[in-house]
Amino acid sequence: MAKNILITYEDKTLTQFINCSGITEELKSGNGISQNVYAYGYSKTNEEIRFRIGGVLNKDNIGIRGSNYSKDDTGKIVSFGYDIEEDFKSNNWLFNVSVDCEVSRIVDDGGFNYTVFTFDNANIYDKDKVEIDYLSNSSGRKIREFTVSVADQSIPGKQFQIKNVGESVDKIFSVRKVISKYNDLYPSDTLNEYKDPSSNSVFVSSNSLPN
């Protein structure tokens, strides 16, 4: 986008803003959006300084207390939310989430076919569409979309294959799963899940029947 634009909307769903106005140019996949709110302060010269806050915790709910900390020590937050590794109600969903991931390595399978490994779980499944930012020594850097293959024995979410690229892939900068849509219209599978700790209930959000 050439510049920031202010868009207003009347209502929203989990994945859509409804009855938008103020759109003066095309919005492309990957454009960032944020609320038109900010915090501010003043410098020593009385100049206003603005900055955006992405999110704020109302209160902490730390289940495990740390040790060997002293006043004014700096701590590192590893993650937010709940540990769901052993929660069968929260596992085994196909999450339709678009995440940028860095590539750990590429394997040349021959015939311009490549197996790609990512450091983190990219939520990429068989026949998903993936946007890849890569460099080919023959034609330069580009971003292309591929329909990927995931073998049954692959590392879940971290390994996939792209076929018939048509040129060498010498370096991959990042991969991003493209949001899956039923009939090219409606986001499919699971979008997110939420846990009510008071009742141990899990709520799943989806625009269709979860896979």
Give 89's pLDDT tier (boundaries 50, 70, 90): low
Tell me which DSSP letter residue 112 carries: T
117: which strand partners?
A: 105, 159
Q: Where are the domains of the chain?
A: 100-179
Q: What is the pLDDT of residues 46-65, one digit of tens each?
A: 999 988 776 666 666 666 66
Domain 100-179, architecture per CATH: Beta Barrel (2.40)
**Which of the pair, 63 or 38, is modelled with greater confidence?**
38
Write down the pTM of the prediction.
0.60
**Which of the pair, 50 or 184, is modelled with greater confidence?**
50
Mean pLDDT value of segment 7-24: 87
CA 118/CA 159 separation, integer angstroms: 7
